Amino acid sequence: MVDVSGKALTTRTARAEARVTMSAEAAAALRAATLPKGDAFVAAQLAGVMAAKDTARLIPLAHPLPLAHVDVRFEWEGDQLRIESTATTSAQTGVEMEAMVAASIAALTIYDMTKAVDKGIAIAGVRLLEKTGGKSGRWTAP
């Protein structure tokens, strides 16, 4: 792990996204909440939050962080679902990985919940959108 012991404690935030592309049939079932496994959005939101909290266990060299807030939201763009996650902490290192893990696991949960309708679902575009805090300050994706 990188030594962050000399860094100041600052409030840090990160926003990330993932995109889930699916058939019109899968999107309709997801929107109507008629999936055999139940409410995919609730499951994916909880999975994303839980995953953010487990980031240091999942990513070998990530620091364990005291998360102050994690949020996972969903937005439709046609038949593509955009998942956006936000993570916040007051720590010596950033929460970019926590935000990206939350978006990724939420997307995988959507796949798991809808695969009975469409096995060709694709997850793409997992990326950091913005980070704030720390020595480097604010960064926003171009």
- Give yes or no for a contact between 120 and 19, defined as CB atoms under 8 angstroms apart: no
DSSP strands (E only) in the chain: 10-21, 67-77, 80-91, 122-132, 139-140
For the beta sheet containing 122-132, the strands, ordered from the edge strand earlier in sequence to the opposite edge, are 67-77, 80-91, 10-21, 122-132, 139-140
Question: Of the residues 3, 71, 112, 118, which is catalytic?
Answer: 112
Bridge partners of residue 122, in order along the sequence: 21
Report the candidate in 8, 111, 119, 105 with the shortest Cα–Cα distance to residue 52: 105
- CA angle 31/101/96 to nearest 5° reads 120
- What whole-number distance in Å separates Cα of residue 78 and Cα of residue 28? 11
- Annotated catalytic, 112? yes
**Residues annotated as catalytic (active site), given as ranges:** 112
